[in-house]
Amino acid sequence: MDIKDWNINIKFKHETDLIEENYNGNHPLQMPIYLFVDFESLLIYVETRNRNIDGILMREHNGLLLSFKLPNEVNAFELKDDIIKYYLEQIDSISEGFNIEYIDSNAKGFFSDEANEKLWEVSVNLENGYNLSLLENGGLWDISNYYECSCPDVEGMTEEQIIKLAKEEIEYTKDNGVIIIGGLDSIYQYLRDFS
């Protein structure tokens, strides 16, 4: 197997493309982000997933596919380059210790002891954002937490001025890697309440 045999299906236009709101209920605000590595088909991809609701994939259950938790503030735009530069060689090395066995007509993936040690190291490094580009102040924010320390002065503004300011604020937050829960409507309502 050669490193160039890996298909890395990670392509995002914006650094915040992996930031999304989680399901309503007793869950963290942001949907968790996972890097998936399919050792059978040599495919690497990323998706957001709430395992409490979405469960795990059958291929993962059978050990053919592994998932690695990524930090909430991972920079989606830089992620593919970071994986290639810092992790692809390690992942390829792990794949050398990967074997498939058929148990009751089901393919099951197994790793050697050496590969399992490397897997643990990669998992810890990815989850802690080691060698990954991260958004410095980015992520998913609740509007009241975002404006906790400083809210723009909107006293005496007209409705049109508040709408214009809300649009400027949403662009500013997006440019700085911040996603506000509820988006433009949330910002507009918050500013309107303080006018």
Whether 65 and 117 share a structural domain = yes
Of 39-53, 100-114, 171-185, which gets the smallest average pLDDT? 171-185
Q: What is the pTM of this model?
A: 0.80
Q: pLDDT, tens digit, for every residue of 77-113?
A: 999 999 999 999 999 999 999 999 999 889 999 999 9
pLDDT score at 49: 93
Q: How many CB atoms lie within 10 A of CB 104?
A: 5
pLDDT score at 161: 86
Whether 114 and 164 share a structural domain = no
Whether 34 and 12 share a structural domain = yes
Whether 40 and 98 share a structural domain = yes
Whether 148 and 116 share a structural domain = no
Residue 24 pLDDT exceeds 60: yes
Q: How many CB atoms lie within 10 A of CB 125?
A: 16
Whether 22 and 96 share a structural domain = yes
Domain end among 127, 157, 175: 127
Q: What is the mean pLDDT of residues 26-43?
A: 90
Domain containing 23 equals 3-127
Whether 35 and 79 share a structural domain = yes
Q: How many CB atoms lie within 10 A of CB 191?
A: 21
Whether 108 and 186 share a structural domain = no
pLDDT score at 195: 66
Q: CA angle 145-149-154, nearest 5°? A: 95
Whether 68 and 162 share a structural domain = no
Whether 47 and 14 share a structural domain = yes
Q: What is the mean pLDDT of residues 28-34?
A: 87
The amino acid that residue 67 corresponds to is: S
Q: CA angle 84-50-57, nearest 5°? A: 70
Whether 67 and 31 share a structural domain = yes
C-beta of residue 151 within 8 angstroms of C-beta of residue 194: yes
pLDDT score at 178: 76
Closest by CA to 83, choosing from 31, 136, 130, is 130
Structure token digits, residue 29: 């605000």
Whether 106 and 55 share a structural domain = yes
Residue 79's H or E segment, with its range, is helix 76-82
Q: Cα separation of 92 and 86, whole Å? A: 12
Residue 74 pLDDT exceeds 90: yes
Closest by CA to 38, choosing from 103, 104, 107, is 107
pLDDT band at 2 (very low <50, low <70, confident <90, very high): low
